[in-house]
Amino acid sequence: MKILKTLALSIFSLAATGLYAQKNDLGAWYMYFGNNKISKKLNFHNEIQYRNFDAGGDLEQLLIRTGIGYDLTENNNNILLGYGFILSQPYLSNNEKTENIEHRIFQQYITKQKFGRFNLQHRYRLEERFLQDDFRMRFRYFLGLNIPINNKEMLPKTFYGSVYNEIFLHLNSPTFDRNRVYGALGYVINKNMRVEAGYMNQIQENRNRGQVQIGFYNNIPFTKN
């Protein structure tokens, strides 16, 4: 219980920071990620991200993503075909909001490696983005690292550190889209669930913006196999 209270306090402190988001140009993202086995080889990916310009209520983007993946090797080397629906509400130069809808098809490959305590993940993703008046293609490379703190493995009741870097590249000009750098503290609730609270800095060509992030990860299998 003491561990859970400590984690809850950490998450609350990060979320409270977002109350000053508009003044400090700091946003808040609340995220759910599901990766659920539907057979020995197949998995169902489901994801919802509620992104705000502030702590909550000033919507920046709602992202819903889903897909079906296939393990090339047991619990690793996963290929996936997915779809994403993205509702964005950016501010115009006159400080008024507009609304954009994007439909996205994506293909990805994930591979995992383990070196002692270090749990590495590489993700390569290709996106076909159907915007309201445009079509774009984008490549993303994600390198993530989880390190357990109070145990040698990512076991239940384990605190862990999480960091990642992800670069986004257009397949047309300009090539560079954005880069994300992230650091967080996580807690493994049980073998199928964990939570993270952290900070992400997003660098774009003409903008640099910070985001408080709170994420919940659910890997409960839909099959006994």
CATH code, 26: 2.40.160
Question: How far apart are alpha carbons 215 and 197 in whole angstroms?
Answer: 6
User: Does 111 map to a domain?
Assistant: yes
Average pLDDT for 182-201: 97
Residue 95 structural domain: 2-218
- Phi, psi angle pair for 90, to nearest 5°: -80, 160
Q: Is the pLDDT of residue 20 over 50?
A: no
Token output for 165: 């870097």
Residue 117 forms part of a structural domain: yes
Mean pLDDT of 82-88: 98
Q: Is residue 225 one of the residues assigned to a domain?
A: no
- Does pLDDT of 12 surpass 60? no
Q: Is 14 inside any structural domain? A: yes
Rg (CA), the chain: 18
Task: Give me the chain's average pLDDT, please.
Answer: 90
Span 98-113, pLDDT tens digits: 999 999 999 999 999 9
Task: Tell me what pLDDT residue 223 has.
Answer: 86
54-58, 84-88, 132-136, range with greatest mean pLDDT: 84-88
Does residue 39 lie in a domain region?
Answer: yes
Q: Total domain count for the chain?
A: 1
224 within domain boundaries: no
CA angle, corner 85, sides to 172 and 105, nearest 5? Answer: 45
Query: Residue 2 — very low, low, confident or very high, per pLDDT cuts 50/70/90?
Result: low
